[in-house]
Amino acid sequence: MTTDRMKRTATVASLALAAIASIVAVSCRGAETAKATQTQAPSTQANSQVSTPAAPLNPVGGQRDGPPVTPKPGDPLTPSASTYKVDAIEFFLTPDQFVEYKFRLNTGQRMIFNWKATGPVEVDFHTVPDGKPISASETYQRGQMSSGSGDYRSPYPGLHGWYWHNTGKTDVKLVLNAAGFWTEAWMFSGDPVGDPMPLQDPAPPEN
What's the CA gap between 155 and 130, in Å, rounded?
A: 12
Average pLDDT over residues 42-70: 64
Burial class of 55 by CB neighbour count within 10 A (0 to 12, 13 to 18, 19+): exposed
Q: Which of residues 162 and 56 earns the better pLDDT score?
A: 162
CATH 2.60.120.560 is the classification of domain 85-197: no
Domain coordinates of the chain in residue numbers? 1-41, 85-197
- Sign of the CA dihedral running 35, 36, 38, 39: positive
Write phi, then psi, for 169 (nearest 5 degrees): -110, 5
SS (H, E, C) the chain: CHHHHHHHHHHHHHHHHHHHHHHHHHHHHHHHHHHHHHHHHHHHHHHHHHHCCCCCCCCCCCCCCCCCCCCCCCCCCCCCCCCCEEEEEEEEECCCCEEEEEEEECCCCEEEEEEEEEEEEEEEEEEEECCCCHHHCCEEEEEEEEEEEEEEECCCCEEEEEEEECCCCCCEEEEEEEEECCCEEEEECCCCCCEEECCECCCCCCC
**pLDDT level of residue 72 (50, 70, 90 thresholds):** confident
Largest CA distance in the chain: 151
Q: Is the pTM of this model over 0.75?
A: no
Nearest to 86 by CA among 116, 117, 111, 109: 111
Q: Which residues pair with 161 in a beta bridge?
A: 102, 126
Q: Tens digit of pLDDT for each residue in 79-128?
A: 888 899 999 999 999 999 999 999 999 999 999 999 999 999 999 999 99
Q: Average pLDDT for residues 166-175, to the nearest whole number?
A: 98
Q: What is the pLDDT of residues 8-20, one digit of tens each?
A: 444 444 444 444 4
Q: Over pLDDT 70: what percentage of the chain?
A: 71
Task: Give the pLDDT confidence of 29-44 residue by residue, as tens digits.
Answer: 544 544 444 444 444 4
Confidence band of 69 (pLDDT split at 50, 70, 90): confident
Rounded CA-CA distance 157/149 in Å is 22
Residue 101: which of 37, 160, 157, 14 has the closest Cα?
160
